[in-house]
Amino acid sequence: MTAVIEAHGLGKRYRGRWALEECTLSIPAGRVVGLVGPNGAGKSTLLNLACGQLTPTTGSIRVLGHQPGTGPGQLARVGFVAQDTPVYAGLSVADHLRFGARMNPAWDHEAAHRRIERLGLDPQQKAGRLSGGQRAQLALALAAAKQPELLLLDEPVAALDPLARRSFLHGLTEFAAEREGRTIVLSSHVIADLERVCDYLLLISGARVRLAGPCEDLIAEHYRIVGPRRAASALPPHLSVVQEDHTDHQSAFLVRTTEPLPEGNWQAERPDLEDLVLAYLDRDRQTHNSHDLEGLR
């Protein structure tokens, strides 16, 4: 499978602080990628590097085989919906569609108008008077009608109410389904937003990539096991412990293994995507805290 986004040792430094560090990843084509992580983890930075808005401090990133943002051809193949979905407040919805048509050779006039019509947006309305949800939909309509092979969206649903959120994500899956091989990467700090639409997970925390892979594979490789209290070292060695939790009598672990889970005196279940994300974020926070404590000693 060909990689849509390929990064090696990618890093971006902002005002003396690393917003993204040592990022090596390869995202296959045809996926809907959920880019998840806490606020300030580096999600926006990664997306901005992928669309060419930012240039890397270290390492390299190639998108669809080329350096991002170089030349009109590359720009045409990558759609980007920036955070807060910026639109021209003084221009009408119809003006935005004309704007898109003039700025993009592959513009799909039909699709853009169909989308606007179905959303019930008045073409004469100024974009500055649209609600947050409508504005996000307009931004999506612009990015989709450009017919990119890769569509990047930075926190597109963060400011939307649940109904608008659902409608927006529906529009997104439609875009993905229209043509084979289209890839979408959308970021959110709330995994629940993405669980319904994405089939590939990219978890970023503390400026680093913590977890990446197809959702079904990730779920298949992880188990939540609960049994009598024991130390993590007492578990079979090929189980790598992501998270552990102990009470007086019981121990609960989230473990990762590529082999089948051996029988044991425990109960095992599959975690869902949200459990996984939370477990990895939790581990991350604990290692950070222990670092901090060492620093204090």
Partner 1 sequence: MIWVTWRQFRTQAIAGAIALAAAAIYLLVLGLNIHNDYDRSLAGCIATGCAPGLVSGFADKYSTVVMLTDLALMTVPGLLGAFWGAPLISGELAAGTHRLAWHQSVTRSRWLTVKLLTIGLGAVTLTGLLDLPMSWGASQYDTVKAARFSALVFGARGIVPLSYAAFAFTLGTATGVLLRRPVAAMGLTLALFAAVQFTVPTALRPNYLPARTADIRLDATTLSHADGIIQNGSSLVIDGISLPDAWVISAGHALGSAGQPPSAEKINTCLMPGQFDGTITCLARQDLHVTATYQPNTRYWPFQLIEAALYTAMTAALAGFCFFWIRRRTT
Residue numbers at the binding site for partner 1 (CB under 8 A): 48, 51, 53-55, 69, 71-73, 75-76, 78-80, 82-84, 86-91, 95, 98-100, 102-106, 139, 142-143, 146
> In the bound complex, what is the minimum distance in angstroms from residue 209's beta carbon to partner 1?
22
> In the bound complex, what is the minimum distance in angstroms from residue 269's beta carbon to partner 1?
43
CB closer to partner 1, 20 vs 212: 20
> In the bound complex, what is the minimum distance in angstroms from residue 142's beta carbon to partner 1?
7
Task: Output helix, strand, coil percentages for the chain, rounded to the nearest 5.
Answer: 35, 30, 35
CB closer to partner 1, 41 vs 81: 81
| All residues at 6 or more sequence positions from 81 whose CB lies less than 8 Å from its CB, including other chains | 136, 139, 140, 143, 151, 152, 153, 154, 156
Provide DSSP, 159-207.
TS-HHHHHHHHHHHHHHHHHSTT-EEEEEES-HHHHHTT-SEEEEEETT
> In the bound complex, what is the minimum distance in angstroms from residue 83's beta carbon to partner 1?
8
- Whether 21 and 11 have beta carbons less than 8 Å apart is answered as yes
CB closer to partner 1, 12 vs 222: 12
- Whether 222 and 207 have beta carbons less than 8 Å apart is answered as no
> In the bound complex, what is the minimum distance in angstroms from residue 52's beta carbon to partner 1?
8
CB closer to partner 1, 15 vs 297: 15
> In the bound complex, what is the minimum distance in angstroms from residue 103's beta carbon to partner 1?
3
CB closer to partner 1, 56 vs 271: 56
H or E stretch at 285:
helix 273-296
CA angle (49 as vertex; 145, 138 as ends), nearest 5: 25
CB closer to partner 1, 65 vs 73: 73
